[in-house]
Each structure stands twice: as C-alpha cells, then as structure tokens.
C-alpha cells in the first residue's frame, strides 16, 4: 500500500477556517473588553496626562489589532482556500498584544 501523497488539490480543510475565523472574533472581543477596562482604569482617578496617554495608546493598539483581525476574518470567510497569515500581519498582531499587556502592567503599577 502506497502512502497517501498530500497535494493541494485533495485538501479538505473541513471547518478549520470557520473555527479560526471564530477564534479571531473571540480574540477581538477579548481585546475590546481589555481596552475598555484599561481606559476605565486609566481615567478612574480623574483625567491626568499619564492616564490620557495610556488610554490613547491602548485605543491605538486596539485599533491596529482590530484592523489586522478584521482583514483576517474577511480572508477566512471567503469560499476559496484562505491564504496564510503574512509575517508582517503576524508580527503586528503579536506586537499589539504585547504592548497592550505592557500598558496593563503600567496601569497596575
């Protein structure tokens, strides 16, 4: 019996693109909640320069993440085989996530 050769023509992704699209939506929702809570925490003691700066930075990072996530969701929703995530988009997503975590640490300290 010959081993099965996996070619691009016989690939059956099943529901993988749908699961991945839903994961991007959940991650976007979690980022939205985290950003709202960060802005609330930053402005909780009254508007000061540091709080406004951190709140604005959180919003900018969230918007950048949202742009990449929305693009990826659109690609995954297409009927054709989805393209892979480019290194540029992957690094932008990772950078936004790490920077939002750093903002959270700055708010706590």
Give the pLDDT band (50/70/90) at residue 41.
Answer: confident
Encoding tokens for residue 95?
């950078």
Give DSSP secondary structure letters for 12-68.
Answer: --TTHHHHHHHHHHHHHHHHHHHHHHHHHHHTTT---HHHHHHHHHHHHHHHHHHHH
Percentage, residues of the chain above pLDDT 90: 31
pLDDT in tens, 50-91: 888 888 998 999 999 999 999 999 988 887 777 888 999 999
Higher pLDDT, residue 63 or 4:
63
pTM of the predicted model, to two decimals?
Answer: 0.75
pLDDT of 39 strictly over 90: no
pLDDT of 20 strictly over 60: yes
Mean pLDDT of all residues in 7-22: 72
pLDDT of 36 strictly over 70: yes
């Amino acid at each position: 019996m010959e081993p099965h050769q996996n070619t691009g023509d016989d690939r059956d992704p099943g529901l993988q693109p749908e699961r991945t699209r839903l994961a991007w939506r959940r991650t976007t929702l979690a980022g939205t909640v985290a950003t709202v809570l960060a802005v609330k925490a930053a402005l909780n003691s009254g508007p000061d320069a540091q709080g406004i700066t951190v709140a604005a930075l959180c919003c900018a990072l969230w918007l950048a993440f949202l742009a990449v996530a929305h693009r990826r969701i659109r690609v995954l929703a297409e009927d054709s085989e989805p393209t892979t995530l480019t290194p540029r988009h992957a690094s932008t997503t990772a950078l936004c996530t790490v920077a939002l975590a750093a903002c959270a640490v700055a708010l706590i300290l």
